Amino acid sequence: MAPSSTDHQRPPSSFELLQTLDDTDSICSFAFDPRSHTLVTSSTDGPLKIWDLATGRPLRVLGNHREVFSLAFHPDGQLLACGSQQHHAQVIDVATGETEKILQGPIWQVAYSVDGRLLSTWGGSNVRVWSVPGYQLIRSLDHARWARGVAFHAAAEIVATCGDKAVRSWNVATGKCLHESRFTDDSRNDTLAVCFHPHRQFFASSAPGNAIDVRDPMTGELVCALEGHTDVVDALAFSPDGAFLASRSLDSTIRVWNCETWETSAILDAPIAADVSQHSLAFHPTLPLLASVVSRGANPSARAIRLWQFDADVLLGQRSDTAIHYVNAKVVLVGDTGVGKSGLSLVLNGQPFEATDSTPGRHVWTFDSEETSIGPNRRQTRETLLWDLAGQPGYRIIHQLHLNEVAVALVVFDARSETDPLSGVRHWERALRLAHTRGGSRSVPMKKFLVSARTDRGAVSVSKARIKAFCVEFGFDGYFETSAKEGWQIDDLRTAVKSAIPWPYLPVVSSERLFAEIKAFLLRIKESGRLLAAVSQLHDEFGRDNATRAEFETCIGRLENRDLIRRLSFGGYVLLQPELLDAYASAIVNHAKNEPDGFGSISEDDALGGRFFVPNEQKIADRGQEQLLLHATVEELVKHDLALRENADNGRYLVFPSQFNRDYSAAPEPEGTAVVISFDGPVQSIYSTLAVRLSHSGLFATDRTKMWRNAAVFSATAGGGCGIFVREFADEGHGQVLLFFDSEASEQTRFHFEDYVHSHLRRRAIDGSIDLTRYFICVECASPVPERYVKILREKGKREFECPCGSKVAIVEPEERLGAKYPSQVAVMDRSADRQRDFDALIVSASGETHTESFVGWAGDARAMLAIVFTDVVGSTALENRIGSERMNVVRRSHFAQARKLLAQYRGREIKTIGDSFMVAFRRVEEALDFSLALQEAPGDRQIQVRAGIHVGAMQIEEDDVFGGTVNFAARVVGAAKGANVWLSDRAHEDIHALRAERHQGLKWKRHAGEAMKGFRGTFTLWSLRA
């Protein structure tokens, strides 16, 4: 029997704590010497040391190497690679301690391949692979932003990387990415660790929800998911024989998993802070030993190494009586509104037929649940959920978010239609195909069935031959003519769905019985119709003494990953009916579409105040709960780049690019059209996200006055105008984007605009569907070069066309001609768009926080005047590039810990954190200033400097929401600060001056008039403290 998660203070019988290697230095990494009974440790503030495993004592210092963050022995034991905080790697001769080779960085982490022929080094986004023994660079892999971990396949042909909420596997010889598993922006934790099985074709990586994913490196297929930890998994290690996987978590435990059953065989006590190397958990190469870096006492930087000896036979013989195994399958029912999906979903789920109106939002039903045997004394629960998705036009752009990981899709059409019964089917088929493609390794083999509904009302007005050809063209696996009312072919369809589910290819989840009980409890609460509840309240209602709060929250996270419930980003609430987010989002979209002037927008105050039509059956009666849902809905729209938050003279608006009703006068052939890109996919969704992200890119900007139906014009920061016009064809799911430019747009501007649009389509359209047609235009006379001439000249190897006006027009693709001259800015533009999106979502979330009962209680009044402080670390990006992400995480935690200490001292309240920024509220402006000055004086780490912005404004929490403007302005105040300083808005300075607190009399202020604030029209007066 494996120990429970609450019984791990003493090692289980299969483990014995052999030694604790204690050191005055701050140990962050170690490596076992494969030739002897020793290991080497590194620290951030001390030398490399060699330790005797038998005595637990240091034998000697290895050379004069300091500030080493990670270690890796060459398999022959003669060389040791070291990743340094000095941004390079060293290869050290273990016998002499001398440096044999220095590899330039940035490099913080290192790993040898199993055969010793390759060395990988990484720091920041760049993963490099070097040949051994020559240490020549043979491959450079761009993981995108921070790579947290890297591991080699046993054959050294594949390398896996993790970090930035993604896991990737690469072919080392070609540098090609074999697969990518990207987790959603809702994932609260990064992927910190990855390791390959020594003999089999899979690797393990940490995953959102405190889980561990086991995947095939070639396809990315998820083999199984391991549940049990209640905090982030930061280190993983397979035993040399491949029998066990060890995982360490910030929940202060190490779990040892049996790699045959994927059950927990042992749990070890291992307190740890999240600032150690990936190389801080390892099995010995030849001995039955497991070691881990652990924290010593309350100081997280004081660390030691615990060394356990284990009995493999005993460990293999241990069986958990608390382990469970389950598999989930997702079936979706899609189609246009009014085709009969709601009645069909009822009878498929075994309920009697009822005449129904169109489905509002989405409904999730338990279609089937059964247990099956998977081996001696081992059972597996197989559960199928049926998702009935509304088909109204307003839902299309929303439901695109829910078509992931589908096992079976039922695409329904109305047999009664006399015009085009198959209308809408193409859209849904392409939407499903795109979601399946974009899901990458998370997608499962999908079967699609075409279903005609309501055949009792008349024969299908499409010939059998056409139906058959249609199924072949779009890859449907079967066709059913059904009547929910009469029961025609319902049993056949139900049987086909059950038979189509590819259970052997669906990931198995290995979990604990306690998690299953928590899950069942939460689903019962959900089925009762309850809308919102605090996590603490649900935990208390569960009422099980053996369920810790951490275990309870981890289970909530797992259900959230399946879209069955949703944790709100504010107030500690759980939304038990997340389908209401779809209903309210669709209602907001419909309101914007019907805006009288055709601007496709809604006032943000109206959206957050609920001043739009919601059908009675979806309307939330409780005003307080509706306010929280409204904020969560707007946050959802912003977070998925579906809406653009825009400041106008008469307030702030949510702008939906896909919902404009006014026509662009230059359509359908805008002047200056240079490129036409055809693609397949959900046209309006692709256009919306493109317009929003371009406007946040930092290089291009627009507003609702420059948007029309399927068209938008952008002003380039470098000058000139660029535009996009979208055509959507009757053949649904097929569209074109036309790019056009004015005469002021430079060659560089045109190149970057086109590069970004093309990149966006490659990521969001169906693979293989993109086709680009270019019009080469003379810059002198603006005449296009005829396509026929371009083709003839290219066939002759010509690269220019001589225009009748006398100018020469280059007829080579811009990437070929300009790629070296103008490096791509796509990554930079994406980061800018991500930052603005995250900031806008933060403002909405923070506003939601102020509508919670606890915040109103703290403020003392729903219409309180509060001082908002927004702090930021000066030069944080440069600092992270210099010290590495792991060390920056330590700095960030120390800074936030200090901020929270001062917050308690000055009686403030934390609202939000984002990146390195801290947002807090105070009832008195003088306490806000005291807090800012104290944090600046003592920021928690000597490596950082802090700037702060202070603004005073009303919360006005009842009807109109003005908090977003208050905190937004405070953020812009700190953005205006030059260096490490405290800046105040004119209103905050006025209040400080009027209070005349004695402790503030000596402060010297500098006035800054005419300051422009991003997102606010006009100029403002700000104040800063003189040095």
Domain shared by 737 and 618, yes or no:
no
Q: Confirm whether 511 is domain-assigned.
A: no
Domain shared by 788 and 692, yes or no:
yes
> Which two tokens mark 535?
């996590």
The residue among 451 and 166 whose pLDDT is bigger is: 451
Instruction: Please say which residue of 606, 625, 645 terminates a domain.
Output: 645
Q: Which pLDDT band, with edges at 50, 70 and 90, does 729 fall under? A: confident
Rg (CA), the chain: 30
Question: Would you say 315 and 256 are in contact if contact means Cβ atoms under 8 Å apart?
Answer: yes
Residues 6+ apart with CB under 8 A from 490: 344, 347, 348, 482, 483, 484
Domain shared by 335 and 313, yes or no:
no
Domain shared by 271 and 139, yes or no:
yes
Q: What is the pLDDT of residue 342?
A: 84
The residue among 522 and 732 whose pLDDT is bigger is: 522
CA distance 669 to 905: 64
Backbone angles phi, psi at 794, to 5 degrees: -65, -40
Domain shared by 673 and 611, yes or no:
no
Q: What is the CATH number of the domain that holds 1019?
A: 3.30.70.1230
- Mean local confidence (pLDDT), 957-975: 69
Residues 6+ apart with CB under 8 A from 564: 364, 523, 526, 578
Mean pLDDT for all residues in the chain = 86
Domain shared by 496 and 400, yes or no:
yes
Instruction: Please say which residue of 645, 669, 695 terminates a domain.
Output: 645
In 3D space, the residue among 120, 173, 166 whose CA is nearest the CA of residue 146 turns out to be: 166
CA distance 233 to 191: 8
Domain shared by 502 and 583, yes or no:
no
Q: Confirm whether 743 is domain-assigned.
A: yes
> Which two tokens mark 944?
């950082």
Q: What is the pLDDT of residue 806?
A: 82
Domain shared by 635 and 702, yes or no:
no
Q: Confirm whether 518 is domain-assigned.
A: no
CA distance 581 to 362: 10
- Mean local confidence (pLDDT), 339-365: 80
CA distance 124 to 168: 15
Domain that residue 670 falls in? 657-826
Q: Which pLDDT band, with edges at 50, 70 and 90, does 877 fall under? A: confident
Question: Would you say 729 and 427 are in contact if contact means Cβ atoms under 8 Å apart?
Answer: no
Q: Confirm whether 429 is domain-assigned.
A: yes
Q: Confirm whether 514 is domain-assigned.
A: no
Residue where the block lists tokens 């001056």: 993
Q: Confirm whether 842 is domain-assigned.
A: no
* pLDDT(357) > 70: no
CA distance 552 to 535: 9
Domain shared by 868 and 1005, yes or no:
yes
Q: What is the pLDDT of residue 819?
A: 66
Asked if omega into 208 is within 30° of 0 (cis), the reply is no
Query: What is the number of alpha carbons within 13 Å of residue 391 lying toward its C-beta?
Result: 24
* pLDDT(842) > 50: yes
In 3D space, the residue among 881, 985, 1022 whose CA is nearest the CA of residue 125 turns out to be: 881
| Torsion 609-572-299-253 (CA) sign | negative
> Which two tokens mark 360?
């509002």
Domain shared by 737 and 637, yes or no:
no
Q: Degrees (nearest 5) of the Cα angle 524, 526, 529?
A: 110
- Mean local confidence (pLDDT), 728-748: 87
Q: Confirm whether 6 is domain-assigned.
A: no
pTM over 0.75: yes
Q: Which pLDDT band, with edges at 50, 70 and 90, does 6 fall under? A: very low
Q: What is the tally of structural domains in the chain? A: 5
Q: If you ran DSSP here, which 8-state letter would residue 1006 be given?
A: E
- Mean local confidence (pLDDT), 946-969: 72
* pLDDT(1) > 60: no
Q: What is the pLDDT of residue 4?
A: 40
Q: Is 795 exposed, middle or buried (0-12, 13-18, 19+ CB in 10 A)?
A: exposed
Q: What is the CATH number of the domain that holds 813?
A: 3.30.310.220
Which bin fits 781, alpha (ψ -120 to 50), beta or left (φ > 0)?
alpha
Residues 6+ apart with CB under 8 A from 785: 775, 776, 777, 778, 801, 803, 809, 811
In 3D space, the residue among 188, 195, 180, 194 whose CA is nearest the CA of residue 210 turns out to be: 188
Q: What is the pLDDT of residue 274?
A: 57
Q: What is the pLDDT of residue 8?
A: 42
* pLDDT(298) > 80: no
Q: Which pLDDT band, with edges at 50, 70 and 90, does 1027 fall under? A: low
Task: Report strand pairing: 946-954 vs 982-985.
Answer: parallel
Q: Confirm whether 675 is domain-assigned.
A: yes
Domain shared by 679 and 693, yes or no:
yes
Domain shared by 635 and 666, yes or no:
no
Backbone angles phi, psi at 1013, to 5 degrees: -120, 125
Instruction: Please say which residue of 317, 337, 372 terminates a domain.
Output: 317
Q: Is 150 exposed, middle or buried (0-12, 13-18, 19+ CB in 10 A)?
A: buried
Question: Would you say 723 and 737 are in contact if contact means Cβ atoms under 8 Å apart?
Answer: no
